[in-house]
Structure 1
Amino acid sequence: MHDPIRRGGPEHLVIALGSNLGDRHAILAEAVERISATPGVFARAVSTFVESVAVRTSGPDDSAPPYLNGVLVGHTYLEPHRLLSATSAIEDALGRVRTERWGDRTIDIDLVEVGGRRVHDETLELPHPRAGDRDFVLAPWLEVEPEARLTGRGRVADLLAALRGTAG
């Protein structure tokens, strides 16, 4: 079993949020409030929410309701698996139903970074394996942390520029 509370100082935290069902703004605001109220989690900044096309396992899907996405940054004393449990409970409380991988959802909360840790097991992968390839994660993150770096991938500004085909 994982120790729920880390020993030592807090770790930098980046969480991506998205919603494409229901009152997206209200759901994302509630998710931010609940994450911020989680013992051992301290939100420092929340990005502007940006709209993006839904992405399925087969690729972008213009026929699906668009997503509203944003990023929360802060720090945490929670061990990553405990943090994942807490965010999963928030998703459940906000009506997330897991029927289809990358399907429509009221809320999606992804751990992007936790203290630069590298975790790869049956329940969690850190850093988030697709964060560096998603404009809807990188742009909001860059807004609130202009010098942000994605562990193992480099500067968020450079990743975003490469994704957009522009000079970094």
Structure 2
Amino acid sequence: MGIYLGLGSNLGDRRSNLSRALTQLETKELRVTRVSPVIESAAQLPENCPAEWDQPFLNLAAECETEAAPETVRSWIGEIEQGLGRVDNLHWAPRPIDIDILLWGEAELTTKTLTVPHARLRERDFVLAPLIALEPRLIVPGTARASLLDWSRKLPTHIPLWMGILNVTPDSFSDGGELLDWKHLEPHAMGMINAGAHIIDVGGESTRPGGNP
């Protein structure tokens, strides 16, 4: 079992904040091996909080590898959060980045600054759903032998996957002939990925009536 982090952002350019956080994690002695799809969730708010706090989060889970100790990684996370503009003066306020250690292999840890597995892992569908997308049959240490997939049956959150379509035929309905040259195709595909597409569908054969396959 690997190390799993949960990342969330509900302030500023949320997708960029997540991307920058992942990049900065890899500047430490930590390698990001897999990243889940991104989901959007409502902010958890206390009663009578300011209306401007009600900003939805983007969330993802990341699988990582490191030889460092959990407390060291927790320290790195704090540095990254502060570097991206997080201020912890108000617990429920919007934040550009929030990073939690969810799981650390088979370890069960409780210190002054860290609880692993994350204490509220099972209660938060916005944490569980991305984690399930990475490792659905994972069994959380210290729990009954139910997998994340078993837990997921009670979750209200569904993770949509966004697909971008590249038509590379000369007579497509919509954009036939526009993407026949690689110098045009590659930036178009990267634009879709940067916009959040998880799947790129390549249309390589025309289905237009009267068109040449």
Cα distance in 2 for partners of 1:116, 1:127 equals 9
Which of the residues 147, 164, 168 maps onto 2:137? 147
Bigger Rg over Cα: 2
1:42 matched to 2:45? The reply is: no
Q: Deviations over 1:93-135 (max 9, x none)?
A: 0000101223211100000011221111211111100111111
- Secondary structure of the structure 2 residue equivalent to 1:158: helix
Counterpart code for 2:39: V
Of 124-133 and 146-155, more deviation after overlay is shown by 146-155
TM-score, normalisation: structure 2: 0.66
Whole-angstrom CA distance in 2 between matches of 1:99 and 1:18: 18
CA contact (8 A) 2:11 2:96 kept: yes
Counterpart Cα distance in 2 of 1:52 and 1:119: 28
Q: Structure 1 regions of 5+ residues with no counterpart? A: 1-10
With a CA cutoff of 8 Å and minimum separation of 6, indicate the structure with the bigger relative contact order. Answer: 1
TM-score (norm 1): 0.83
Identity value in percent: 34
What residue number does 1:4 align with?
Answer: none
What does residue 126 of structure 1 align with?
Answer: 116
**Are 1:133 and 1:159, in contact at CA under 8 Å, matched by a contact in 2?**
no
* Greater per-residue strand proportion: 1
Contact 1:133 1:163 in 2 (8 A): no
Q: Would the aligned equivalents of 1:16 and 1:72 in 2 still touch at CA under 8 Å?
A: yes
What CA distance in whole angstroms lies between the structure 1 residues aligned with 2:17 and 2:90? 20
Among candidates 148, 163, 179, match of residue 156 of structure 1: 148
Q: Which ranges in structure 2 are unaligned for 5 or more consecutive residues? A: 157-213
Residue 118 of structure 2: SS of its match in structure 1? coil
State the one-letter code of the partner of 2:10: N
> Hey, what does 2:95 align to over in structure 1?
105
| Cα-Cα RMSD | 2.1
Determine the C-alpha separation between the residues in 1 that align with 2:77 and 2:6.
11
Structure 2 Cα separation of the partners of residues 55 and 128 of structure 1: 17
Give the CA deviation at 1:57.
4.9
Is 1:65 aligned to residue 55 of structure 2? yes
Letter in 1 for 2:94: D
Kept after mapping to 1: 8 A contact 2:39/2:58: yes
2:41 maps to what in 1? 52
CA distance in 2 between partners of 1:37 and 1:160 (Å):
33
Query: Which amino acid letter does the alignment assign opposite residue 49 of structure 1?
Result: V
> In 2, distance between residues paired with 1:56 and 1:65?
10
Distance 1:66 1:110 in 2: 18
Match of 1:90 in 2: 80
